[in-house]
C-alpha cells in the first residue's frame, strides 16, 4: 500500500515535471516552432475568453474577433507613428481590455434580449460592421493597407521583441486567464451562467437578473479578446483588417467545439489541434484546405461532444492531484 502510494506520487511528480520541462524547452526550439506555440497560446486565450459566452452562458457569439480587432487597433493607434502617440505596452494592454469590454457592453446591451440564432446573426453582423468600418475609415486606420511599423513593445524595461519573449508573456497570460476563468467557473457567478445555459426562464424565475449576467459574460470575454488583440498587435507589429474576418471568429468557435464546450482543458486541446493541423498539412500543398476540412468533419462526426470528455476538466485534474497528495488512501 505505502509502496504504491509512493509510486503514484512519483508518477504524478514525473508528469508535472515533464510538463514544466516541455514548457521550458520551447524557447530552445527553432524560431518557426516558437511562433506556432505563440499562436497556439494566443488562440487559447481567445477561446477561453469566448468560452465564457458560448460554453458557460450558452450564447452563440459569431463576431468575437471584433473585440480582438479593437485591442489590436488600440495598440496600433496608441503605439505607432500613425498619430505619433507612443504609450507603454502595459498601459495599452489595460486600455485594450477596457475598450474590448466597453465594445462588448455596447453590443450586448441592445441585443441580449434576442435568443439563439438571432443573437448569433446579430453578433456576426456586428463583427462584419467593425471590420468594414476599419477597412473604410482611412483617416483613422489607414484602411485596407493597415498600419505598419508599430512600436517595439517592452514590459517593465524588458524588451518584447522576439517570439521567445512573447512566448513567456503569452504563457503567463494564458495561465492567468485559465486560472481566472476556472475560479469564476466555480464561483456563484459560474453556476448562474450554467443555469442560464440550461434554462433562462428558470433563472429569471429565481430572481436573478439575466441581462446583467449575460452582459457580464459578454464584457469579460470581450476584455480578454481585447487584451489578446493588444498582444497580437505588439507581436506582429502590423495590423490590417484582413486579420479580423468572419472566418477568424468561426475558427475560435471551432476551437471550443472541437475541444469540448465549457471545458478549459478541452479548449486547450482544441487550440493545439486547430493551430497545429494546418501547419502539419503544409506538405499537402494545394490539398491542404481540403484535407483540413475532411479531418474537421470526421472529428466532429466521430466525437460530437468534443475531443476531451466533459469529465476530464481542470477541476478533475486538480482534485486528482490534491487527493493523491493529501489523502492517497481515498483514490
Partner 1 sequence: MLDYFLQQLIFALAIGAIYGLIALGYTMVYGVMRLINFAHGEFFMLGPYVYTFIFSGLIGLGGLAPMLDSAIAIIASFVIVGLLGVAIERFAYRPLRAYGRLAPMLSALGMSIVLQSAVRVTVGPQPVHFPAIVPSTPIDALGGMVTTVQFGILVAAVLLMVGLTLFVNGTRLGIWIRAASESWTTSSLLGIRVNRAVSLVFFIGPGLGAMAGIMYASYYGIMQPTMGSVIGLKAFTAAILGGIGSIPGAMLGGFLLGAIETFGTAFLPILSFGYIGTEYRDVFAFAVLILVLLFKPAGLLGETVSEETTVAKKDY
CB of 281 to partner 1, least distance (A): 11
Residue 122 engages partner 1 in binding (rule: CB under 8 A): yes
Residue 112 engages partner 1 in binding (rule: CB under 8 A): no
For partner 1, the binding residue among 45, 46, 52, 261 (CB under 8 A) is: 261
Alpha carbon 277 to chain centroid distance? 18
Q: How far is CA 225 from CA 116, 249, 250, in A?
A: 22, 11, 14
CB of 126 to partner 1, least distance (A): 7
> Quick one: 12 or 281, whose CB is closer to partner 1?
281
Task: Locate 122 and state its grid cell.
Answer: 446579430
Report d(CA 129, CA 123) in Å as an integer.
10
Q: Where are the alpha helices (DSSP H) in the chain?
A: 2-25, 31-51, 65-78, 89-111, 116-136, 138-141, 163-186, 188-198, 200-205, 210-236, 246-259, 264-280, 288-302, 314-326
Report d(CA 218, CA 197) in Å as an integer.
14
Which one of 122-130, 174-182, 225-233, 312-320 is the stretch in contact with partner 1 (CB under 8 A)? 122-130
Longest dimension (CA), the chain: 72
In angstroms and rounded to an integer, the radius of gyration of the C-alpha atoms of the chain is 21
Which one of 9-17, 93-101, 120-128, 174-182 is the stretch in contact with partner 1 (CB under 8 A)? 120-128
Residue 59 engages partner 1 in binding (rule: CB under 8 A): yes
For partner 1, the binding residue among 15, 20, 280, 297 (CB under 8 A) is: 297
Residue 289 engages partner 1 in binding (rule: CB under 8 A): yes
> Quick one: 13 or 289, whose CB is closer to partner 1?
289
Report d(CA 235, CA 151) in Å as an integer.
10
Report d(CA 65, CA 225) in Å as an integer.
7
For partner 1, the binding residue among 117, 145, 172, 317 (CB under 8 A) is: 117
> Quick one: 179 or 305, whose CB is closer to partner 1?
305
> Quick one: 223 or 252, whose CB is closer to partner 1?
252
Give the x-and-dash track for 151-190 against partner 1 (CB under 8 A).
Answer: ----------------------------------------
CA nearest to 109, candidates 184, 224, 219: 219
Residue 60 engages partner 1 in binding (rule: CB under 8 A): yes
Q: Give the binding site for partner 1 (CB under 8 A).
A: 54, 58-60, 110-111, 113-122, 124-126, 128-129, 132-133, 135-136, 197-201, 246, 250, 253-254, 257-258, 261, 286-290, 292-294, 296-297, 300-301, 304-305
Amino acid at each position: 500500500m505505502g509502496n504504491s502510494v509512493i509510486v503514484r506520487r512519483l508518477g504524478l511528480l514525473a508528469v508535472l515535471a515533464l510538463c514544466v520541462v516541455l514548457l521550458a524547452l520551447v524557447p530552445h526550439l527553432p524560431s518557426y516552432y516558437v511562433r506556432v506555440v505563440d499562436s497556439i497560446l494566443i488562440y487559447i486565450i481567445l477561446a477561453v475568453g469566448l468560452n465564457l459566452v458560448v460554453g458557460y452562458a450558452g450564447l452563440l457569439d459569431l463576431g468575437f474577433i471584433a473585440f480582438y480587432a479593437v485591442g489590436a487597433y488600440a495598440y496600433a493607434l496608441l503605439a505607432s507613428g500613425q498619430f505619433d502617440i507612443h504609450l507603454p505596452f502595459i498601459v495599452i494592454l489595460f486600455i485594450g481590455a477596457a475598450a474590448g469590454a466597453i465594445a462588448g457592453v455596447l453590443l450586448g446591451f441592445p441585443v441580449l434580449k434576442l435568443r439563439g440564432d438571432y443573437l448569433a446573426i446579430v453578433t456576426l453582423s456586428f463583427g462584419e460592421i467593425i471590420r468594414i468600418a476599419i477597412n473604410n475609415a482611412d483617416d483613422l486606420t489607414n484602411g485596407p493597407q493597415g498600419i505598419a511599423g508599430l512600436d517595439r513593445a517592452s514590459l517593465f524595461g524588458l524588451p518584447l521583441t522576439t517570439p521567445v519573449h512573447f512566448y513567456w508573456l503569452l504563457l503567463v497570460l494564458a495561465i492567468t486567464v485559465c486560472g481566472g476563468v476556472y475560479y469564476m467557473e466555480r464561483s456563484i457567478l459560474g453556476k448562474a451562467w450554467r443555469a442560464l445555459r440550461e434554462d433562462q426562464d428558470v433563472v429569471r424565475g429565481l430572481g436573478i437578473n439575466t441581462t446583467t449576467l449575460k452582459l457580464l459574460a459578454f464584457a469579460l470575454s470581450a476584455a480578454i479578446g481585447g487584451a489578446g488583440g493588444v498582444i497580437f498587435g505588439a507581436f506582429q507589429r502590423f495590423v490590417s483588417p484582413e486579420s479580423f474576418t468572419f472566418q477568424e471568429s468561426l475558427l475560435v468557435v471551432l476551437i471550443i467545439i472541437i475541444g469540448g464546450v465549457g471545458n478549459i482543458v478541452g479548449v486547450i486541446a482544441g487550440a493545439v489541434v486547430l493551430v497545429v493541423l494546418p501547419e502539419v498539412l503544409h506538405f499537402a500543398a494545394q490539398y491542404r484546405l481540403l484535407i483540413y476540412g475532411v479531418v474537421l468533419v470526421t472529428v466532429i462526426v466521430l466525437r460530437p461532444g468534443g475531443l476531451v470528455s466533459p469529465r476530464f476538466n481542470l477541476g478533475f485534474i486538480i482534485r486528482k492531484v490534491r487527493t493523491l497528495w493529501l489523502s492517497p488512501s481515498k483514490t
